[in-house]
Amino acid sequence: DAGVIQSPRHEVTEMGQEVTLRCKPISGHNSLFWYRQTMMRGLELLIYFNNNVPIDDSGMPEDRFSAKMPNASFSTLKIQPSEPRDSAVYFCASSSGPSAPQHFGDGTRLSIL
């Protein structure tokens, strides 16, 4: 079975540039989560969707961050403009419902210079 697929695996860009991270959840899963992992703050939930609708975006750091889920098989996390403090590993996870564990993608390692 294909797991959660994230792209790109690595991204290095200069500050001020727009960054778009992509996620394809496991087919049939109706919940999707975006996390950020840093040494300083650990694993933080940024936003999660249920049936393509954003349910909780309280973890989104600021207006520079936005996330969309136009359909059940695709989500994006966008940072515009990017800043060096956004450097982190961004994970996407999906689950099949409230009683199901979350399955994580391999992450996108983002470096903002």
Partner 1 sequence: AQSVSQHNHHVILSEAASLELGCNYSYGGTVNLFWYVQYPGQHLQLLLKYFSGDPLVKGIKGFEAEFIKSKFSFNLRKPSVQWSDTAEYFCAVRDYGGATNKLIFGTGTLLAVQP
Residue 17 C-beta: closest distance to partner 1, Å: 25
Using CB under 8 A, pick the residue from 23, 91, 110, 112 that binds partner 1: 91
- 107 belongs to the binding site for partner 1 (CB under 8 A): yes
Q: 55 is written with which tokens?
A: 């349910």
What is the number of other CB atoms lying within 10 angstroms of the CB of residue 35? Answer: 22
Q: Look at the block and give the residue holding tokens 């515009």.
A: 80
Per CB under 8 A, contacts with partner 1 among 29-88 are: 31, 33, 42-43, 45, 48, 50, 55-56
Q: Which two tokens stand for residue 42?
A: 């650990």
Residues in contact with 10: Cβ distance below 8 Å, sequence separation at least 6, in sequence order: 108, 109, 110, 111
Q: Which residue, 18 or 102, has its beta carbon nearer to partner 1? A: 102
Contact residues for partner 1, defined by CB under 8 A: 31, 33, 42-43, 45, 48, 50, 55-56, 91, 93, 95, 97-107
